[in-house]
Amino acid sequence: MTTHTAPRQQRAPRQDNRRQPLLDAAAALFRTRGFHAVTMREIAREAGMLAGSVYYHFSSKDDLLVSVYEEGVRRITERVAEACQDAETPWAKLEAACCAHTEMLLDESDYAQVILKVMPEDVPSGQAQLIDCRDEYEGLFRDLVDALPLAASVDRTIFRLTLIGALNSARNWYRPGGKSPAEVAREIMKLMKNPLLKEGSQI
């Protein structure tokens, strides 16, 4: 007697599938209010459905956050990698990367901004996954910094982390209408590249 494994026929997703609007809503809410302050009912309502329906697409709130986070890293990685390729010198590559990074964080993508707002420790079940994502993205900048012609006395690790930290901190004070995100990024890089001292002054 043969074992009848059910055919388990698979079908293409329907066109009216609302997984994407759901992710978008979650990204927007997580970005502005953080993981713990947002409820499944809010996310669902924003996507035009009920809370229970979300569980057809995601197994838990944590799972939903991880998906948003991964998509955020995917998008910013894509943009930054693309921006680097157009530049020629190591410094120009880094600058292009910083501009793209800052643009994503300051006005373009809810997804990318979730990366700054949500900390891995907020989601114990997916902590390792989020950290891996972040590390992979940071590796991009490690390569760019390693390629720079820096004085031997400069600690490249601290330089890299400080640069990214400085760019990210713009999120706390940037307001649209003044300098553009790219201008902010260039200004910050200028600070770290040029001497600040007034000519003739002593330290």
User: Binding residues for DNA, per CB under 7 A?
Assistant: 6-19, 38-42, 44, 48-57, 59-62
For DNA, the closer of residues 29 and 145 by Cβ is 29
Helix axes 156-169, 127-146, angle to 10 degrees: 120
Distance CA 133, CA 101 (A): 15
Q: Is 147 in the site for a second copy (CB under 8 A)?
A: no
Instruction: Find the Cα–Cα–Cα–Cα dihedral 40, 45, 70, 110, rounded to 10°.
Output: -120
For DNA, the closer of residues 53 and 129 by Cβ is 53
For DNA, the closer of residues 53 and 168 by Cβ is 53
Q: Is 191 in the site for a second copy (CB under 8 A)?
A: yes
- 70-97 per-residue burial string, b: 16 or more CB within 10 A, e: under 16: bbbbebbbebbeebbeebeeeeebbbbb
For DNA, the closer of residues 11 and 198 by Cβ is 11
> Measuring CA to CA, which residue among 16, 56, 64 is closest to residue 40?
64
Query: Which residues lie near a second copy (CB under 8 A)?
Result: 32-34, 36-37, 89, 91, 119, 121-122, 148-152, 154-155, 158-159, 161-162, 164-166, 168-170, 172-173, 184, 187-188, 191-199, 201-203
